Amino acid sequence: MITRLKSATFIGINAIPVDVEVFITTGIPGVMIVGLPDASTKEAKDRVRAAIKNSGFDYPIKKITINLAPADIRKAGGAFDLPFAIGILISARLLKCEINLDDYIIAGELSLNGRLNKVNGVIALGILAKKLNKAIIIPDENKETAEFLGVNFKSFGTLKDVCKFISGEEGQLIQAAFKENYLPDYEYFNFYVKQMELRENKNNDYPDFLDIKGHELAKRALEVAVSGHHNILMIGPPGSGKTMMAKSAMGILPDISLEESIETSNICSFSNKKFQEECILISKRPFISVHHAITTAGLIGGGSANPVPGDISLAHNGVLFIDEFSELSKKTLDSLRQPMEDKAVNLSRSRFSILFPCDFMLIAAMNPCPCGYYGDENHECRCSSAEIYRFYNKLSGPILDRFDIFIEVYSVNLEKLMDNKTGESSKEIKERIERTGKFQGKRYMGTDIRFNSSLNGSSIKKYINISDSTLSFYYNICQKLNISSRAYHRTLKVARTIADIEGKDKLDEDSILEALNYRNTKFLKA
């Protein structure tokens, strides 16, 4: 008897449906798995046998053939244990099947004692199930994720419990697994975010805006950058507070929505790195700090057999922070260009290509020259003009073009550092940023755009909302300052964000002048 079940494997961050066929005949006892299983899937044989025996069933001493289709995709992971075990039990007539197997996608790893263990990639699995209008059968440990996703599911702790359900022994209405209009659980998510916040508040390792003395301009620039998701580059001498400022951005990032969290958590679940450990979904926007010695593969993603997402994708819907930006190798710098433009990385392999989303905001910091003191009033720069030329030449053109905001950060004097006057707290600034975010959200409702920085040529015209007279005011300045066409658009977008912060519908001259100021650095001419 052949039993057909549905399961899934993963390519990139997507789950791909896999049909599992289990066929039992007389012959030399043993299990053969065909259809491109990788080593981890082949190992299932022994786990499944032990789990079946230890769940109180006889293990059929027969020839068992398991076929995985489509045959041309490599099947990886231990999530096939459960469909294999159920398939074997049904085919051997040890388990009667009272449910319509075709309604379910089944995934679960088995312990030798029959316990069901958590599987990776359950978000991708849920997304697939919703698309195919099916329910998923998963381990209890993945239950909460399924609840957040709003997908039809049944979860179990052991193989025995799954068998009870399949044979109808649980005495429940099998159709009850299917709820109509199952929606993501927003209320539960808000509760969960608060819980995580409480847990994390104890060990915040970033400074509050209150603790940053002076730097008014840089603080404002950071607020504008975070509000509109604009890439920002901070330039200044050693010890001026660039790293501190960048880290303080963590405290003003707007809350993450459930949809955004699902997207980013899904990406992170395919990373080899530990990420916001022990959580089901990430509860705040990612803030990924990258060391300048990072490899290109580590930054943008890579690996041959099964590519994993790089740091830029782990920063999806959040911030990528690159300190000592000028120290990145030329190759690594260049590898950032396309992903930043497309907000996705395309990794091509011989038999498939994978797309990892990477819609991040870049915060970069660097010294203005190799010695660090170029342009500083209090220190002399010891670099030769050739050294300075080489320094900027590496950064030149295309990569600098991708920043919307440049800001110079200088050391504040001692008097200011000792000053007890405090400015706004991170909490107050965050509230304003959230308000600005709602403003943008309303404007871009029903589109793919979330923040002003994502506007492009045609959408700028549509959404920027500027009067003819203000536009000609702007145009005249651009001509005088000889501003490039790329910079022309970037400045308009930043001006849009500034107007949004002020709650203005129309762009005015003040917003434009402030935005222009963020390109006006002596180090890099717009």
Q: How many residues bind Mg ion (CB under 5 A)?
A: 1
Site for ligand ATP in 410-469 (CB under 6 A): 412, 417
Question: Is residue 489 classed exposed, middle or buried when 0-12, 13-18 and 19+ CB atoms within 10 A define those classes?
Answer: middle
* Shortest Å, Cβ 325 to ligand ATP: 11
**CB closer to Zn ion, 209 vs 391:** 391
- Cα–Cα dist 63/28, whole Å: 6
Tell me how far, at minimum, the Cβ of 362 lies from ligand ATP, in Å.
Answer: 16
Amino acid at 485: S
Near ligand ATP by CB under 6 A: residue from 142, 227, 269, 367: 367
Cα–Cα distance between 253 and 433 in angstroms, integer? 8
Q: Which residue is nearest to Mg ion (CB)?
A: 243
| Using rule CB under 6 A, residue 35 touches ligand ATP | no
- 371 belongs to the binding site for Zn ion (CB under 5 A): yes
Which CB atom, from 356 or from 391, has the smaller least distance to Zn ion? 391
Q: Position of tokens 């530990």? A: 274
- Selection from Mg ion, ligand ATP, Zn ion, none that 371 binds (CB < 5 to 8 A by kind) is Zn ion
247 vs 496, which CB is nearer to Mg ion? 247
Q: How far is the CB of 248 from ligand ATP (least distance, A)?
A: 10
Q: Which of 65, 243, 306, 454 binds ligand ATP (CB under 6 A)?
A: 243
Could you say which of 49, 134, 154, 215 contacts ligand ATP (CB under 6 A)? 215
Does position 513 bind ligand ATP by CB under 6 A? no
- Residue 233 vs 499, nearer CB to Mg ion: 233
By CB under 6 A, name the one of 41, 55, 240, 335 that touches ligand ATP: 240
Question: Rounded to 5 degrees, what angle do the CA atoms 488, 247, 513 make?
Answer: 25
Q: Which does 240 bind (CB under 5 to 8 A by kind): Zn ion, ligand ATP, Mg ion, none?
A: ligand ATP
Q: Is the four-CA dihedral 5, 11, 13, 14 of positive or negative sign?
A: negative
> Residue 486 corresponds to which amino acid?
R
Which range binds Zn ion by CB under 5 A, 150-158, 181-189, 376-384, 445-453?
376-384
Q: Is 369 in the site for Zn ion (CB under 5 A)?
A: yes
Q: Which of 117, 167, 243, 521 binds Mg ion (CB under 5 A)?
A: 243
> Which of these segments, 19-27, 210-218, 288-296, 463-471, binds ligand ATP (CB under 6 A)?
210-218
Q: Cα torsion at 447, 450, 452, 458 (round to 10°)?
A: -20
Question: Does the protein bind Zn ion through residue 383 (CB under 5 A)?
Answer: yes
Q: Quickly list H helices, 301-425.
A: 311-314, 330-335, 337-342, 385-395, 414-418
Burial class of residue 108 (count of CB atoms within 10 Å of its CB; 0-12, 13-18, 19+) = buried
The closest alpha carbon to 281, from 417, 418, 190, 148, belongs to: 148
Does the protein bind Zn ion through residue 374 (CB under 5 A)? yes
Indicate the SS3 state at residue 189: helix
Binding at 381: pick from Zn ion, ligand ATP, Mg ion, none (beta carbon under 5-8 Å per type): Zn ion
238 binds ligand ATP (CB under 6 A): yes
Q: Which residues contact 266 (CB under 8 A, 6 or more apart)?
A: 13, 121, 123, 124, 127
> Between 241 and 372, whose beta carbon lies closer to Zn ion?
372
Tokens encoding 33: 């798995």
Window of 53-61, 347-355, 379-387, 427-435 that interacts with Zn ion by CB under 5 A: 379-387
Stretch that binds ligand ATP, among 219-227, 232-240, 440-448, 515-523 (CB under 6 A): 232-240
H-state helical runs in 167-314 = 186-201, 216-228, 242-248, 258-268, 296-300, 311-314
Beta bridge partners of 234: 365, 407
Tokens 């509050």 — which residue? 208
Neighbour-count burial for 497-519, b at 16+ CB within 10 Å, e otherwise: bbbbbeeeeebbeebbebbbbbb
Residue 212 engages ligand ATP in binding (rule: CB under 6 A): yes
Residue 307 CB partners (closer than 8 Å, separation 6+): 12, 301, 347, 349, 354, 356
What is the maximal distance between C-alpha atoms in the chain?
89
Query: Residue 51 or residue 366: which is nearer to ligand ATP going by CB?
Result: 366
As measured in angstroms, the least distance from the Cβ of 146 to ligand ATP is 43
Pick from 238, 239, 256, 252: nearest CA to 208: 252
Spatial CB neighbours of 297, under 8 Å, sequence gap ≥ 6: 303, 310
* Residue 236 touches ligand ATP, criterion: CB under 6 A: yes
Q: Among 67-75, 237-245, 259-267, 516-524, which window interacts with ligand ATP (CB under 6 A)? A: 237-245
Residues making contact with Mg ion (CB under 5 A) = 243
Residues making contact with ligand ATP (CB under 6 A) = 212-215, 236, 238-244, 367, 412, 417
Residues making contact with Zn ion (CB under 5 A) = 369, 371, 374, 381, 383
